[in-house]
C-alpha cells in the first residue's frame, strides 16, 4: 500500500503547507535526506508513517493515498457512495465506501458502475410491517442470476448474498433506506431509489392490485 503514496504528492502537500523538508522530517522522526528521497522517487515512506504524514498535513490517510482532497468530511462515510467489486473468478463481493485498490485471485478489480433498473431487470418492493420485501423478476440459473442485493442508507448498508437456483428476493428494514442495489452476473450493477417511484404510493408499486397487474404484464412481455 505504501507505494501508492508518491513523492510528488508529499512534495505538493509539503509546499502547500509551507513546510521545509527538515521540518517535515522532524515531525516524522526521520532525516531530511529521507524526505528528499521520497520526493525524488528514490524511496517510499514506510506504511507505519502514513498516519503521521497525514497528521502533519492535517488531512486523512485516504486523501494522502489518493492524492485527492476531500472537501466534504462526510463523503468517505456516506454509504450512498458505496462501491462494489465482484471477482470474475470466485464471485467474491467486496464493498468499499471510498477509493480502494482491490485484488482477488491476482486480478485488479474495478468498481461496478450502477445503472437504473430496466425492463430486463425489474424490481418490486412491498412494505411488510417495518421491512421492505424485495423481489427481482430475474432468472436464477447457474449461468444467469442475481448475485446480491443491498440496501443503503446514509450511514449503513445491509447486503444479502444470493445464489444460483435460489430465490431473487431479500428483506430489509425500511428505516433510513434510500437506495437499493442489485447485481446481475452478466449485466452488472443496478440501482433504484425507493422514494423515486417504486415505493411511491401514488406512482409506484405500493398498491398491491397495481403491482399484481404490473407483474402479470411483465411476465407476458418478458417471459
- Give tens-digit pLDDT for 2-40: 445 778 889 988 998 899 999 999 999 999 999 999 998
- Per DSSP, helices labelled H in the chain are 7-16, 21-28, 32-39, 50-57, 61-66, 208-222
Which residue spans of the chain are classified as CATH 1.10.260.40?
2-71
For the record, the C-alpha cell of 24 comes out as 517535515
Which residue spans of the chain are classified as CATH 2.60.40.730?
113-222
For residue range 134-183, list pLDDT tens digits in order. Answer: 999 999 999 999 999 999 987 789 999 999 999 999 999 988 888 999 99
pLDDT band at 217 (very low <50, low <70, confident <90, very high): low
Q: Which residues contact 89 (CB under 8 A, 6 or more apart)?
A: 104, 105, 107
Q: Which residues contact 59 (CB under 8 A, 6 or more apart)?
A: 13, 69, 70
How confident is the prediction for the chain on average, in pLDDT? 81
pLDDT of amino acid 185: 92
pLDDT of amino acid 6: 78
Considering only the top CATH level, what class is 113-222?
mainly beta
Considering only the top CATH level, what class is 2-71?
mainly alpha
For residue range 49-66, list pLDDT tens digits in order. Answer: 888 898 888 887 777 876
C-alpha span between 149 and 133 (Å, rounded): 11
Closest CA to 105 of 89, 86, 91: 89
User: Exposed, middle or buried, 181 (CB in 10 Å: 0-12/13-18/19+)?
Assistant: buried
C-alpha span between 223 and 137 (Å, rounded): 10
For the record, the C-alpha cell of 1 comes out as 500500500
pLDDT of amino acid 134: 93
Q: Sheet of 169-173: strands edge to edge?
A: 122-128, 131-137, 169-173
Amino acid at each position: 500500500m505504501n507505494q501508492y503514496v508518491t513523492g510528488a504528492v508529499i512534495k505538493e502537500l509539503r509546499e502547500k503547507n509551507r513546510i521545509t523538508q527538515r521540518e517535515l522530517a522532524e515531525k516524522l522522526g526521520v532525516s531530511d535526506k529521507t524526505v528528499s528521497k521520497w520526493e525524488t522517487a528514490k524511496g517510499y515512506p514506510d506504511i507505519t508513517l502514513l498516519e503521521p504524514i497525514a497528521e502533519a498535513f492535517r488531512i486523512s490517510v485516504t486523501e494522502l493515498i489518493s492524492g485527492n482532497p476531500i472537501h466534504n468530511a462526510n463523503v468517505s462515510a456516506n454509504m450512498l457512495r458505496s462501491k462494489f467489486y465482484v471477482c470474475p473468478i470466485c464471485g467474491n463481493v467486496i464493498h468499499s465506501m471510498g477509493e480502494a485498490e482491490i485484488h482477488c485471485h491476482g486480478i485488479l478489480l474495478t468498481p461496478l458502475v450502477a445503472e437504473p433498473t430496466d425492463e430486463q431487470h425489474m424490481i418490486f418492493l412491498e412494505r411488510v410491517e417495518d421491512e421492505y420485501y424485495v423481489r427481482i423478476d430475474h432468472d436464477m440459473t447457474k449461468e444467469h442470476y442475481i448475485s446480491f442485493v443491498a440496501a443503503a442508507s446514509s450511514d449503513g448498508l445491509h447486503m444479502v448474498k444470493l445464489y444460483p437456483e435460489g430465490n431473487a428476493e431479500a428483506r430489509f428494514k425500511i428505516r433510513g433506506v434510500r437506495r437499493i442495489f442489485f447485481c446481475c452476473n452478466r449485466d452488472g450493477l443496478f440501482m433504484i431509489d425507493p422514494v423515486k417511484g417504486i415505493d411511491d404510493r401514488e406512482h409506484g408499486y405500493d398498491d398491491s392490485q397495481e403491482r399484481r397487474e404490473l407483474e402479470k404484464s411483465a411476465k407476458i412481455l418478458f417471459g
